[in-house]
Structure 1
Amino acid sequence: MHPNLEKLKEYKILVTGGAGFIGSNLCEALLKLGAEVICLDNFSTGRKENIYGFLGNPLFTLIEGDIRDLKVCQEACKNVDFVLHEAALGSVPRSIENPITTNKVNIDGFLNMLVAVKNSKVNRFIYAASSSTYGDSTELPKTEDKIGKPLSPYAVTKYVNELYAEVFHKTYQINTIGLRYFNVFGKHQNPNGAYAAVIPKFIQQLIHKESPVINGDGSFSRDFTYIDNVVQINILAILVENPAALNQVYNVACGERTTLNQLISILKEKLAAFDSSISEVTPTYGPTRMGDIPHSNANIAKAKNLLQYNPQFTVKKGLKKAISWYWNNLN
């Protein structure tokens, strides 16, 4: 994937939210490549079982703590070369129901991490941004320099993250890279709870022969992005040496659109290979969710040009791997 992968063995990397869905996949990949990994998590949405396999690894350290506590952030950043900041309260509906907590974690916590990075002289701060930042912009595909107005408190927090990162670069010369994730899915993503993402939720419902509930008429589309593509770009963001690639924000996606109706069809077809009766399950349709963007589709040219990002997984290829993992873990 990259000529400098060996360099990771020289680095100490902090992954905030390292027991979460994306964070635990990053920890796993970095440990396999020989990096020293510190995981910071308060287990509010992260899960211990996501990191059980690393606890005996001498290269892995777990810090149980909250990014809303500056002292915890300072401690976690000591002698660290790179920070992958994944800790956040996700979910648009959660932010609509509880904007204050979303703000405290996603903005106050983010600012704490930036201050800790500044004080510890960390080389680079790579953070999870979000496609929700595109807000009410109707332009497709989405390009990084053209955004609309946010449609949810969550989207506000993720846009503020980008603004803070830019200000900290200009004011304190901190190097940052923001990764605007588009609907990431894959192993370790929790199918349970009120704020579960659509793919694991649908897979679990179909496995149990329950009718998946689609918000709206199923015509809304997403640029669903398999987790391995996200891991790839985070590693590229650590290793990139081109100064022009730093202090930028990038779309992280496949660059293809899938409607929710198409998604259900693909899931049924692939799950039917395990149990043919799943092909008979039909979805039900509910009201459109407040704060939802109708369509998201990313232009990934910038990430390709500056980071050499080259997504290896299309939606269908990623769904095949994800379904296999859920089938083995949910049954």
Structure 2
Amino acid sequence: MHYDSVRDSLRRQPRTWLVTGAAGFIGSNLLEELLRLGQTVVGLDSFATGHRRNLDEAVAAAGEGAADRFTFVEGDIRDLDACRQACEGVDLVLHQAALGSVPRSIKDPLTTHAVNVDGTLHMLTAARDAGVGRFVYASSSSVYGDHPGLPKVEGAIGTPLSPYAVSKRVCELYARTFQDHYGLETVGLRYFNVFGPRQDPDGPYAAVIPRWMDEMLDGRSSTIFGDGETSRDFCYVANVVQANVLAGRTASDATGTVYNIAVGDRTTLNDLFREMSQSLVAEGAMDATPEPAYADFRPGDVRHSLADTSAAHQALGYRPTHPVGLGLRKTVAWYVQDRASASS
């Protein structure tokens, strides 16, 4: 597998990586993988949505000596000085820090813009000035907006349906501009509904899988917005980690563009709820599968999403290793264990 050879190469020739949003869900999984590979890692986070325990868990899971190769900078990407500090001596940036959630962006577009657009512009500027070799950044399938085509192909996007979608599209444009004008190599990764261990179930804007997981484990009712036939290309976090590392080491002629990162399979919310509840029963966390409640569709939500990942396959060597079913089983097992550890 191509990813195995890239990991072997990194073990032989370690680099220094900056992970923004390192205390978050995706960022901490990236941190863990890079430290496992013997890399030196700088983490930047403000703890606005991330958690210090994610850093601790990632470093501990990476094994002996990992803590010695990790430096943490507590700072906000809206602060250019913090971005400059974090970029000092860094070879590659994996920019994950952002304010997610379509509903949150509709409620508060100013903060979404300040974090996602201004913050990304600060990071691009700091990386350029520090002589960083490669800038990999998280984009989103939300940029496809109202384009009806399935599967989603990188070159065919529609009108954004939320301030969050607008912010991610603007980041893509800025990244390409920095490559064209300043020579900073950039790679954008359009994530499709990422899930997995350490994804935060708390708060009004939690993603659907951790939110349902928390509700099911508490014996509370879970709500599906719409009729449940809305579908998504759910992507387990290990696939996203692979894509980021590959993007950091891909050939220069594959930079300056964006790639879909997903599994290439559609799951309805009804099917997702059923698979999650069955997995929890199989883990012994529930006695029987519950029935969901249904509510009105939410504004700004896309009806269907499915990725064409052929461009990432060809340019990056990306091959998802975890289909939805396997990812859900691993995620359920992690949440059950995490709940048990917290109560012991």
Same-fold call, TM cutoff 0.5: yes
* Counterpart position of 1:177: 187
* Counterpart position of 1:166: 176
Partner Cα distance (2:307, 2:278) in 1: 26
Q: In structure 2, do the counterparts of structure 1 residues 112 and 265 end up closer, same or farther at CA, with 3 Å as the change threshold?
A: same
TM-score with structure 2 setting the length: 0.94
Out of 5, 14, 36, the residue aligned to residue 3 of structure 1 is 5
Partner Cα distance (1:6, 1:83) in 2: 20
Alignment check: 8 A CA contact 2:34 2:41 kept: yes
* Counterpart position of 2:218: 208
Partner Cα distance (1:330, 1:278) in 2: 17
Out of 33, 44, 55, the residue aligned to residue 40 of structure 1 is 44
Q: Secondary structure at the match of 1:15?
A: strand
Partner Cα distance (2:288, 2:264) in 1: 28
- Residue identity in the other structure for 1:316: G
Alignment check: 8 A CA contact 2:280 2:286 kept: no
* Counterpart position of 2:319: 310
**After the TM superposition, which residues 93-104 of structure 1 pair with which residues of structure 2 at under 5 Å, given as runs?**
93-104=103-114
Alignment check: 8 A CA contact 1:141 1:297 kept: yes
Partner Cα distance (2:139, 2:4) in 1: 23
**Is residue 264 from structure 1 mapped to residue 285 from structure 2 by the alignment?**
no
Q: Secondary structure at the match of 1:272?
A: helix
Range with bigger deviation, 225-234 or 269-278? 269-278
Alignment check: 8 A CA contact 1:140 1:296 kept: yes
Range with bigger deviation, 93-102 or 279-288? 279-288
**After the TM superposition, which residues 257-296 of structure 1 pair with which residues of structure 2 at under 5 Å, given as runs?**
257-275=266-284, 277-296=286-305
The Cα shift of 1:277 comes to 4.7
The Cα shift of 1:209 comes to 2.1
**Is residue 28 from structure 1 mapped to residue 38 from structure 2 by the alignment?**
no
Partner Cα distance (1:108, 1:276) in 2: 43
Partner Cα distance (1:167, 1:65) in 2: 25
Percent of aligned pairs with the same residue?
49
Out of 37, 58, 74, the residue aligned to residue 68 of structure 2 is 58
Q: Secondary structure at the match of 1:249?
A: strand
The Cα shift of 1:276 comes to 7.5
**After the TM superposition, which residues 193-204 of structure 1 pair with which residues of structure 2 at under 5 Å, given as runs?**
193-204=203-214
Alignment check: 8 A CA contact 1:177 1:249 kept: yes
Alignment check: 8 A CA contact 1:210 1:281 kept: no
Alignment check: 8 A CA contact 1:185 1:224 kept: yes
Partner Cα distance (2:297, 2:339) in 1: 28
Alignment check: 8 A CA contact 2:278 2:289 kept: no
Out of 253, 261, 271, the residue aligned to residue 262 of structure 2 is 253
| RMSD of equivalent CA atoms | 1.2
Deviation per CA, 1:22-78, whole angstroms, max 9, x where unpaired? 000000000000000000000000100001142871000010001111111111101
- Residue identity in the other structure for 1:248: T
The Cα shift of 1:278 comes to 4.6
Alignment check: 8 A CA contact 2:44 2:73 kept: yes
- Residue identity in the other structure for 1:152: S
* Counterpart position of 1:237: 247
The Cα shift of 1:10 comes to 2.2
Deviation per CA, 1:123-150, whole angstroms, max 9, x where unpaired? 0000000000000111000000000000
Partner Cα distance (1:261, 1:268) in 2: 11
Q: In structure 2, do the counterparts of structure 1 residues 145 and 212 end up closer, same or farther at CA, with 3 Å as the change threshold?
A: same
Partner Cα distance (2:6, 2:34) in 1: 13
**Is residue 223 from structure 1 mapped to residue 233 from structure 2 by the alignment?**
yes
Q: Runs ≥4 in structure 1, deviation > 4 angstroms?
A: none
The Cα shift of 1:238 comes to 1.3
Deviation per CA, 1:151-174, whole angstroms, max 9, x where unpaired? 000000000000001111111111
* Counterpart position of 1:297: 306
Alignment check: 8 A CA contact 1:204 1:330 kept: no
Deviation per CA, 1:181-219, whole angstroms, max 9, x where unpaired? 000000000111101000011111112222210011101
Partner Cα distance (2:22, 2:204) in 1: 22
Question: What 5-or-longer segments of structure 1 have no aligned partner?
Answer: none
Q: Secondary structure at the match of 2:288?
A: helix
* Counterpart position of 1:49: 53
How many residue pairs get aligned? The number is 330
- Residue identity in the other structure for 2:43: C
Q: In structure 2, do the counterparts of structure 1 residues 124 and 192 end up closer, same or farther at CA, with 3 Å as the change threshold?
A: same
Q: Secondary structure at the match of 2:313?
A: helix
* Counterpart position of 1:127: 137
Q: In structure 2, do the counterparts of structure 1 residues 272 and 235 end up closer, same or farther at CA, with 3 Å as the change threshold?
A: same
